[in-house]
Amino acid sequence: MNQLAGAWAALALALPMAWMAGGGPLPGRALPLLGAAGLVAGLGGLAGWAVRALAARRASGQQAAGPLPAAALLEALPGPVLGLDAEGRVTHLNPAWEALSGRPLAEVLGRPWRELLHPEDRPAFEAAFAARLRGERPGAAVELRCLTADGQALSLAWRAQPVRAADGRVSGLAGTLEELSTRKRLDARLQSHRGYVDTLLANVPGVVYRARNDRHYTMEFISAGCLELTGYEPHELIENRRLAYDDLIHPEDLEFVWTHIQAHLARREVFQLAYRIRDAAGRLLWVWEQGRGVFSARGELLAIEGFITDVSERRGAEEKARRRLWFEARTGLISRPIFDGLLSWSLQQQDSGRADPVILLVLELAGHPACVARRGHEAAEAWLTERARRLAAALGPGAVACRLGAAQFAVLAQDVGGRAPSPAGAPDATDRSAWQRAAQALVRPWLARLERPGPGGESGEDEASAPAAGLVLGHPGHPGPEALLAAAQAACQRALARGPGQLEVAEAGPGAC
């Protein structure tokens, strides 16, 4: 028992030092408990096991006059405890080892510990083992790979302290093993996701941001496109290190921007607006912004997240064009560059779990060629513009549309208005079917609005103008905005082949297009 007591005393020192070195295997990152004499009497992380053991004693009629046996506490620890003699042979392992490695204790006890390690890690272990015996770097972690019962490599952090006999001679080491493989897999998965998001953001034609809702629009994050748009590096605007975003906004537009955003945040609606900024070179630019509030479960506004892009080249010189920056002159819909940027940003919001799946609709007015043939290009363009305005009027908040070309239009939405439950993460097949039904229910009124005859319309002509449409629903791991749009266009062509008024639903998973 003297040797076991010595091992327990060494472990009582090793575990707190492991905690101080970056976190050991004890639940709650426990601190040492000091007795009246200032000596280590136990560990806070063991309090639960001690209390349960004391309660068990009292229930069985025993008195808890003295401390719990060290062996009982060692066996109860949830992480492996390893004892080695001076030659590196295993003298002790608690049951947690079996659960972690799949190797029975009887198979391991008495064997050199190095034999259980990956061959590449044995030199590092032997060097660390010799250093710990000399009392060097006590409590420092050494990362090792242990071979499990099925031959898999299990990453472990080993921390140890020397065990001294009654005569002061070092008789071995006592320490702990912390499993690292699960954390490494999670870190690798997180790094892969970050790389995907970084690539997506790098291809957005503008900037994606997260800002606090204050008068300065203090940026917590802004993507690398900030340099191209404003002439300033992202780190110069984050936390207002060099200047605040509101310093870039034209003074005449400041109050309009603030009032517009606050009104939409109060209603928890997506906001869209255009205004002027001055870049680092002093040039005046027109930008278009879309964003939304990020709210906590209790309804508190945490931040604003959105997308900003340059629309100066689309603005034109006249006041009328300045007032309708994001609308095409003939259709009243947003321009194609803005639509493409919004599609990329919406997919990023979807993939981060902050928004519903993206709904993308492509529709084509089948009666347009016949109208051109009967009434000429000028009349046909007026006919097309009138229907585009109907579409714009039918869309709800957060939905936008643009003209792709000829008589083809695209609509982007991300809100089904409560028609389907909001799934956490990637929807399963049942959820996806529900989303598709909800999306169809959302878009059919838009199509019906285009089917109704216009003022003075000829009945046969209006009947032929019923749109054919292709619908696609965004999906985590989607192949990208271009492929998503191509899938919707292909579905539209299939619907068009079936005849006016048809709706075709496409898949947008990996490889679908």
Determine phi and psi for 170, rounding to 5 degrees. Answer: -75, 120
Tell me how crowded residue 205 is: count the other CB atoms within 10 A of its CB.
16
Distance (Å, rounded) from C-alpha 451 to C-alpha 343? 26
Mean pLDDT of 116-124: 87
Mean pLDDT of 123-140: 85
Q: 13 with 7: CB under 8 angstroms?
A: no
Residue 70 has pLDDT above 60, yes or no: yes
What local confidence, expressed as pLDDT, does residue 21 receive? 37
Distance (Å, rounded) from C-alpha 383 to C-alpha 405? 15
Residue 174 has pLDDT above 50, yes or no: yes
* pLDDT band (50, 70, 90) for residue 78: confident
Mean pLDDT of 283-295: 92
Residues with Cβ within 8 Å of 381's Cβ and at least 6 positions away in sequence, in order, are: 330
Distance (Å, rounded) from C-alpha 127 to C-alpha 252? 70
Mean pLDDT of 442-463: 60
Distance (Å, rounded) from C-alpha 256 to C-alpha 252? 8
143 phi-psi bin (left φ>0, alpha ψ -120 to 50, beta other): beta
Residue 26 has pLDDT above 50, yes or no: no
Output 66 or 100, whichever has higher pLDDT: 100
Tell me how crowded residue 287 is: count the other CB atoms within 10 A of its CB.
22
Distance (Å, rounded) from C-alpha 97 to C-alpha 81? 8
Averaged pLDDT of the chain: 74
Q: What is the pLDDT of residues 318-377, one digit of tens each?
A: 444 444 444 465 566 888 888 888 898 888 888 877 777 888 889 888 777 777 778 777
Determine phi and psi for 361, rounding to 5 degrees. Answer: -120, 130
Output 237 or 48, whichever has higher pLDDT: 237
The number of C-alpha atoms within 13 Å of 101 and in the hemisphere containing its C-beta is: 28
What local confidence, expressed as pLDDT, does residue 511 receive? 41
Q: Which of 179-183, 258-262, 415-419 is the most confident on average?
A: 258-262
* pLDDT band (50, 70, 90) for residue 393: confident
Give 146: exposed, middle or buried? Use CB within 10 Å, 0-12, 13-18, 19+: buried
What local confidence, expressed as pLDDT, does residue 239 receive? 94
What local confidence, expressed as pLDDT, does residue 18 receive? 39
Domains of the chain: 2-179 (3.30.450.20), 186-326 (3.30.450.20), 336-513 (3.30.70.270)
Terminal-residue alpha carbon distance, the chain: 71
* pLDDT band (50, 70, 90) for residue 209: very high
Lowest model confidence (mean pLDDT) among 5-14, 165-174, 180-189, 392-401: 5-14
* pLDDT band (50, 70, 90) for residue 232: very high
Distance (Å, rounded) from C-alpha 498 to C-alpha 170? 86
- What is the DSSP track for 263-294? HHHHTT--EEEEEEEE-TTS-EEEEEEEEEEE
Q: What is the pLDDT of residues 305-319, one digit of tens each?
A: 999 998 876 554 444
Name the residue among 115, 181, 125, 190 with its Cα closest to residue 152. 181
What local confidence, expressed as pLDDT, does residue 149 receive? 76
Per-residue b or e along 239-276, where b marks 16 or more CB atoms closer than 10 Å to that residue's CB: ebeeebbbebbeeebeeebeebbeebbeeeebbbbbbb
What local confidence, expressed as pLDDT, does residue 330 receive? 59
Output 509 or 257, whichever has higher pLDDT: 257
What local confidence, expressed as pLDDT, does residue 188 receive? 61
Lowest model confidence (mean pLDDT) among 132-146, 400-414, 444-458: 444-458
Q: 26 with 49: CB under 8 angstroms?
A: no
